[in-house]
């Protein structure tokens, strides 16, 4: 596995691991993942926040596996979609690495898989449980009101 240096203002901020799969991966998903890695390195290079910020989560670091699975599944071809914002929330992307994705939807509906590691510093009231997280963002619908899972029949249909 090789490492790529992420540079900001002429100084190396961190070595970003590049997996064999990413290195060989072309196409839209591969380009998107490489761009995300570069942008994440630039964000980490920002000066630290002061009070009242006590914890900062970087889900593209600790939830990279499910994030990559999501991108490889759903960002393979150009889409006619524009994301205008993201509510990462403590029970959404912060848990799964998937934008707009609370754990139930990411795991059961999108069928995204991957290991979510623990971030270096967790707020005691906002632990990262990954795809096993059972809590939902208040702004998102509860699983029983959500769109049906694409792999299950709807209303008894086969």
Q: How confident is the model at residue 143 (pLDDT cuts 50, 70, 90)?
A: low
In this structure, what DSSP letter does residue 117 have? Answer: P
pLDDT tier for residue 131 given thresholds of 50, 70 and 90: very high
Residue 133 contacts residue 95 (beta carbons within 8 Å): yes
Domain 25-45+55-139 CATH superfamily: Uracil-DNA glycosylase-like domain (3.40.470.10)
The β-bridge partners of 36 are none
**For residues 26 and 16, what is the distance between their CA atoms, to the nearest angstrom?**
18
Quick one: pLDDT band at residue 66, thresholds 50, 70, 90? very high
Q: pTM value?
A: 0.70
Helix, strand, or coil (residue 147)? coil
Asked if 55 and 125 touch (Cβ cutoff 8 Å), the reply is: no
Listing DSSP states for 12-59 in one string gives EEEEEEE-HHHHH--HHHHHHHHHHHHHHHHHHTSPPP-TT------H
Q: List pLDDT tens digits, range 84-125.
A: 655 567 888 899 999 877 899 999 999 999 999 999 999 999
Find out whether 60 and 40 touch, Cβ atoms under 8 Å.
Answer: yes
């Amino acid at each position: 596995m090789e490492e790529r240096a992420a540079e900001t203002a002429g100084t190396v901020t961190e070595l970003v691991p590049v997996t064999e799969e990413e290195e060989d991966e072309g196409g839209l998903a591969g380009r998107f993942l490489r761009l995300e890695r570069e942008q994440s390195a630039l964000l980490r290079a920002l000066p630290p926040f002061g009070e009242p910020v006590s914890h900062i989560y970087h889900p593209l670091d600790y939830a990279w596996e499910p994030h990559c699975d999501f991108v490889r599944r759903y960002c393979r071809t150009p889409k006619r979609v524009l994301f205008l914002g993201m509510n990462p929330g403590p029970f959404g992307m912060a848990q799964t690495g998937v934008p707009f994705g609370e754990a139930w939807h990411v795991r059961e509906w999108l069928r995204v898989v991957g290991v979510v590691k623990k971030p270096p510093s967790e707020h005691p009231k906002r632990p990262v449980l990954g795809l096993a997280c059972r809590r939902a963002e208040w702004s998102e619908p509860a699983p029983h009101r959500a769109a049906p899972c694409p792999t299950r029949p709807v209303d008894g249909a086969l």
